[in-house]
Amino acid sequence: MSNLPIVLVIDDEVQIRRLLQINLEAAGYKVHLASSGKEGLQQASMVRPEVVILDLGLPDEDGIDVLKKIREWTAIPVLILSVRSSEQDIVRALDAGADDYLTKPFRSGELLARVRTALRHRQLTEQGESFVTGSLSVDLAARIVKRNDEIVKLTPTEYSLLSLFVRNAGKVLTHRYILEQVWGPTFAEESQYTRVYIGQLRKKLEDDPSNPRLFLTESGIGYRLEIEE
């Protein structure tokens, strides 16, 4: 792509907007700023960004309402910004259609990684090659899973879980989402399943199951399959 990817930042705090602009532009993105929900929605329809970074704590409108409004006419990835202790807000936002989240204060490395992931996500679904992260490689079409080039046997449930992660690699997945996707909507509250099965995946696929580097727990929210370069 010859054009720089466009990022829309919706945040009422001028310092956050400035910081995000500096970081993103340094990483090669074109940044548009909005300081309120209303302005953000206007900009979104005018500027046609490829990623939206949305602050949940907007003064004029509830961030989740803005998110829902965006989701009414587009599926572009939305990253939400929030504070550490409002995990339930983050889960609500993710369940309402957000793709990923960042807590303030955020590391610029994380920010850029999430943005990259958000953009890449669209590419991955388009292509369908083997997915590689760290010592793990997964071929979704052939249903082959390898760790350090050795084939690993997975149960059907374990594989469903893994493929869900691979298809959403780098993105956070809430417990509810995982349960609904892998086990079905009736299992939406049975978080013990995710715990157990993630444990299994880690045992089989991580180098050090006690210190996982691929299947990361996002405390209070869900899990993320980290993309290691």
Partner 1 sequence: MTPGPGTRPDPDTLLHALKKEEERATKGKLKIFFGMCAGVGKTYDMLKSAHEAHGKDIDVVVGIVETHKRPETEALVAGLPIISRKKTEYKGTALEEMDLDAIISRKPQLVLVDELAHTNAPGSRHTKRYQDVLELLDNGMDVYTTLNVQHLESHADSVAQITGATVRETVPDSILEQADEVEVIDIPPDELLKRLAEGRVYTPERSQQAIQNFFQKGNLTALREMSLRLTAERVDHQLRDYMQTKRIAGPWKSSVRLLVGISSSPHSVSLIRWARRMAYTMDATWIAVYVETSRALSDSAKAQLAKNIKLARELGAEIITTADEDVADALVRVARQQNATQILVGKPHRIFSLRKSLLDQVIERSGELDVYAVGGEEKAAARRIIHFPTIHSGLAQYAMAAGIVCLVALACYPVHAIVGYQTISLILLLTVALLPLKLGAGPVLLSAALSALLWDYFFIPPQFTLSVNMAQDILMLVTYFAIATVTGTLTARIRAREKAVRSREERATALYTLTRDLSIAPNQDEVAKAAITNIKKFFGAEVAVFLSDQDGDVFTQAHPTSTFTVDEKEFGVAAWVYWNEKKAGKFTETLPFATATYYPMSGPRYPLGVIGVKPELENRFTVDQEVLLENFVRQIASTLEREQLNEMTKRSIASVEAERLYKTLFNSLSHELRTPIAAIVSASEGLLDTATSGNDKVKQDLNLEIHTAAERLNRLVENLLDMTRLESDRIKPNLDWCDLRDVVSTAVRKLSGELSGHSVTVEIPTDMPLVKLDFGLMEQAFTNLLHNASLYTPPGSKIQVAAQANNHQCMITISDNGPGFPKDALPRIFEKFYRVPGTKAGGTGLGLSIARGFVEAHNGTIRAENNEEGGARFVITLPIHNGSQKDMQH
Q: Does 160 interact with partner 1 (rule: CB under 8 A)?
A: no
Q: Which stretch binds partner 1 (CB under 8 A): 40-48, 65-73, 109-117, 216-224?
A: 216-224
Among 2, 3, 105, 149, binds partner 1 (CB under 8 A): 105
Q: Which stretch binds partner 1 (CB under 8 A): 16-24, 26-34, 134-142, 209-217?
A: 209-217
Among 87, 139, 180, 207, binds partner 1 (CB under 8 A): 87
Write the DSSP assignment of the chain as a string of letters.
--SPPEEEEE-S-HHHHHHHHHHHHHTT-EEEEESSHHHHHHHHHHH--SEEEEETT-SSS-HHHHHHHHHHH----EEEEEETT-HHHHHHHHHTT--EEEEES--HHHHHHHHHHHHHHHHHHHH--EEEETTEEEETTTTEEEETTEE----HHHHHHHHHHHHTTTSEEEHHHHHHHHT-GGGTT-HHHHHHHHHHHHHHH-SSTTS-SSEEEETTTEEEE----
Minimum distance, C-beta of residue 92 to partner 1, in the bound complex (Å): 13
Residue closer to partner 1 (CB basis): 84 or 122: 84
Where along the sequence are the contacts to partner 1 (CB under 8 A)?
84-85, 87-88, 105, 175, 191-192, 195-196, 198-199, 203, 209-212, 216-217, 219-220
